[in-house]
Structures are given as C-alpha cells and as structure tokens.
Amino acid sequence: MAAILRAVEITKDYGSNRQKKVLEKTNFMVEKGTIHVIEGKSGSGKSTFLSIIGGMEFPTSGKVYYQHESLYELSDAKQSLIRGEKFGFVFQSFQLIPELTVYENIELPLKFQKKKEFDLKAKIKELANELGIVHHLDKRPSFLSGGEQQRAAIARALITEPDILFADEPTGNLDQITTKSIVNLLIKLNKDKNLSLVIVTHETNLFPTPHYLYSMKDGVLKGIKSNV
C-alpha cells in the first residue's frame, strides 16, 4: 500500500540555542484508509509532531512528504491549499466560531473554493445529516452539547473531503459516553469514506483496534502494534 504522507527524520528544537529538544529523529508514514493512534502523556511531543506532519509548524530538520512532494519546500500558497483541501483538523477545544451558526462554521473551509451556493447547501446538509446534527444547523455552538459541538467540528474538517483527518485529543473535553460515540463515529468514517486518521491522545486504549498504535515519550516515537 502506497504512502500518501511520510515524515522523514523529523526533529524539533526550541530556544535561541535549540537547547530544548521536543522531537528526536522521527519517521512516520500514512497509507490511504488507515487509522494511526499516537499515545503519550502531556508534554511528550505528540501534539507538536501532529502540527508538523499536518503542515502547521516547520520542523527544525527533516522532511514531510505529501503525495511525493516535500511539504515545507512548496510555496506558501500550495501549502495552504493542501492544508485547506487535503488535510482536515479536529481539536480538543472544538475551535468553532461562537458568533457563527453551525452551518456557517461547517461552510467556512468552502468559502475559499469556487462552488455554487446550491451545491454548498446540499453538501453541508448531507454531511450534517450523516453526523447527526442536521437539526442544529441554524444554532450557534453554545446551544449544543460537547458531543454535538465536536460533531460539528468533525463536519467542518470533512466538508472538503480530505485525504487525512488529524485529531488532537478529540475526546479530551467529553464524558465517557460521548467519547465512545465520537470514537465510533471516527471509525465509521474511516470505513465508509476510506479516510485516513491520525489521532494523538493521552488516553490508553481509546481506539481498540487501530491499524497502527504508537507511543510518544520524551520526543521519541515508537511503534507498539500493527493490525494490518
């Protein structure tokens, strides 16, 4: 199976003299339709790693390849295009804009694409219905439960039909029952849409059977288990 994303010898240092090392030479690859779960405690470097492979933060050294192109050697415009259309992002804090309705939040990534208004409405309603939030489209996020807000955030991440969904502690603010429903939803999206998932979490055994399970400790990523 061909890799759609590869990280090669990624390091990350902070400080004027690069005295704080966050990531040691890290290698990683994502194939189409696979689930990758990276476990680790807070401060282990997993969120920084996700930001780097997701095109949001430059590494100190090493390369990230998306579809054989070196991501950080592309123009700013091409990097933005990949982040906006090929990558989707979900965070612990949802990051929905409170002044906008759920519909408007989901619509945001499409504002930069030239699509007919009719097509947008149909696509958003279809996705919202699939995620169980179609009846909340005219509400603002504050009127939704935590689980419903996270579903709205997932809808926003999926609306561009990305190749990879990056999720940083996607269930960190949710109760146990809601966490289970979100995990089941992500697994279903992986199966139904052949969507690649890269998830970082401090919760062990959050996903019972990922294709690949890793542990991040002190900036070192180690593979624990493969189910492929």
pLDDT of residue 207: 84
Q: Is the pLDDT of residue 118 over 70?
A: no
Report CA-CA distances (Å) from 14 to 8, 119, 219. Answer: 19, 45, 13
Q: Is the confidence at residue 157, as pLDDT, over 70?
A: yes
pLDDT reported for residue 183: 92
Quick check: pTM over 0.75? yes
Mean pLDDT value of segment 49-71: 96
DSSP structure class, residue 210: -
What is the pLDDT, as a whole number, of residue 115?
60
Alpha-carbon span 89 to 155, nearest angstrom: 10
* Angstrom distance (rounded) from CA 19 to CA 75: 29
Domain range annotation of the chain:
93-161
Q: What is the mean pLDDT of residues 71-88?
A: 95
Tell how strand 87-91 and strand 164-168 pair up: parallel
